[in-house]
Amino acid sequence: MEEHLKPGRLLKQHMIDHIAARLQGASNLFVTECGSLSNKQMEELRGKLKKASSNYMVVKNSMSIMALEKINLDMTRDLIKGTCGISYNSKDPVMTSKILVNFTKEYKEFKFKGACIEGKVVSADTIKEIAAIPPREILLARLVSSLNSPIKDMAGVLYGIIRKLVYALNAIKDKKQEGGN
């Protein structure tokens, strides 16, 4: 049997292709160390990540590296050491960062190694900084509020001017009525 037709090699190649297909559309990859997490803890993590439209998988390092090379994300190769898990998504990296950072606080054996966000490799410390960013909805609310604030202030100033004008006109009217009697 030729080398490329051996069943073990075919199975390994199929697994690499499957991993690469899952990671292909992801714009954000988070590499973690998940060595001694129990199955229950892994399911808890996956459940939390699913709410943020993220996935999580634990794969043999050599297969991860080959899959990442296949989809041109081999710059993350240095992060793949030890027992690794990869969280990936195509949406906002902030929510995934928050979930993973909170999980590291809850389970000390779970650690960040780094990430690849929008094609740039970032450190674990950078992920912690990203996790500190408020959610998108809060940022948008703050933006709208700050845009609305000058308009609100202007309306308050104009209302004050009109109120003073009305008081002045009432005072003139009262003075004329006193003088006319």
List all residues 6 or more positions away from 9 whose beta carbon is below 8 Å from its beta carbon: 3
What is the pTM (predicted TM-score) of this model?
0.69
Q: Which of 44-48, 59-63, 123-127, 148-152 has the highest mean pLDDT?
A: 44-48
Cα(92)–Cα(135) distance, integer angstroms: 9
Q: Which residue has the tokens 């700050």?
A: 146
Q: Is the pLDDT of residue 4 over 60?
A: no
Q: Which residue has the tokens 């081999």?
A: 74
Sign of CA dihedral 53, 58, 63, 66: positive
* Cβ neighbours around 153 below 10 Å, total: 10
* Cβ neighbours around 12 below 10 Å, total: 15
Sign of CA dihedral 153, 137, 103, 60: negative
Question: Between these two residues, 1 and 110, which has the higher pLDDT value?
Answer: 110
Contact of 49 with 56, CB cutoff 8 Å: yes
Q: H or E segment at 113?
A: strand 111-117
Average pLDDT over residues 120-142: 84
Q: Which residues of 113-151 are buried (b: 16+ CB within 10 A; e: fewer)?
A: bbbbbeeebbebebbeebbeeeeeeeeeeeeeeeeeeee
Q: Is the pLDDT of residue 65 over 80?
A: yes
- pLDDT digit string, tens, across residues 86-114: 999 888 788 899 999 999 999 888 888 88
* Cβ neighbours around 178 below 10 Å, total: 8
Residue 98 pairs in a beta bridge with none
